[in-house]
Copies of this chain bind each other. A is one copy, B any other.
Amino acid sequence: MTQPLKTYLHERQILVDRALDRYLPAASVPPTVIHKAMRYSIFAGGKRLRPILCLMSAELCGGKTAMVMPTACALEMIHTYSLIHDDLPAMDDDDLRRGKPTNHKVFGEGIAVLAGDALLTLAFELMARVPSGVSADSALRSIRLISEAAGSQGMIGGQAADLMAEGKTAHLSPNRLKSTVDYIHLHKTAALLRASLLAGAVLSGASAAEQKSLDVYGRNIGLAFQIADDILDIVGDKKLLGKKGSDRENQKLTYPAVWGIDRSRRMADRLIREAQEALRRFGKKANPAIELADYVVRREK
Listed in ascending order, the chain A residues whose CB lies under 8 Å from chain B are 25, 29-31, 33-35, 38, 81-82, 85, 88-91, 104, 108-114, 116-118, 120-122, 124-125, 128-130, 135-137, 139-141, 143-144, 147-148, 150-153, 156-157, 159-161, 163-164, 183
Contact = CB atoms under 8 A, between A and B. Distances in A.
Contacts of A128: 140-141, 143-144, 147
A11 B271 CA distance: 53
A181 to B, nearest CB: 14
A122 B91 contact: no
Contacts of A163: 110-111, 114
Given A124-B124, A153-B25, A90 B117 contact: no
A152 B110 contact: no
A292 B148 CA distance: 36
Q: What is the total number of copies of this protein in its complex?
A: 2
Contact of A160 (B111, B137, B150, B157): B111
A111 B156 CA distance: 10
Contacts of A159: 114
A183 B140 CA distance: 33
Nearest to A158: B31
A164 B124 contact: no
A247 B94 CA distance: 31
Instruction: Kindly list the 6 A-B residue pairs having the minimum CB-CB distance in the complex, ordered from nearest.
Output: A90-B109, A136-B136, A125-B147, A118-B152, A128-B143, A34-B160
Given A85-B113, A90-B109, A111-B163, A34 B156 contact: yes
Contact of A144 (B110, B125, B157): B125
Of listed A33, A90, A130, A152, residue having the most chain B CB within 10 A: A152
A90 B116 contact: no
Contact of A90 (B91, B108, B141, B156): B108
A110 B91 contact: yes
A112 B89 CA distance: 13
Contacts of A160: 31, 33-34, 111, 114
A143 B142 CA distance: 13
B91 A151 contact: no
A157 B113 contact: no
Nearest to A121: B151
Given A121-B151, A122-B152, A140-B136, A157 B30 contact: yes
Given A125-B147, A140-B128, A164 B31 contact: yes
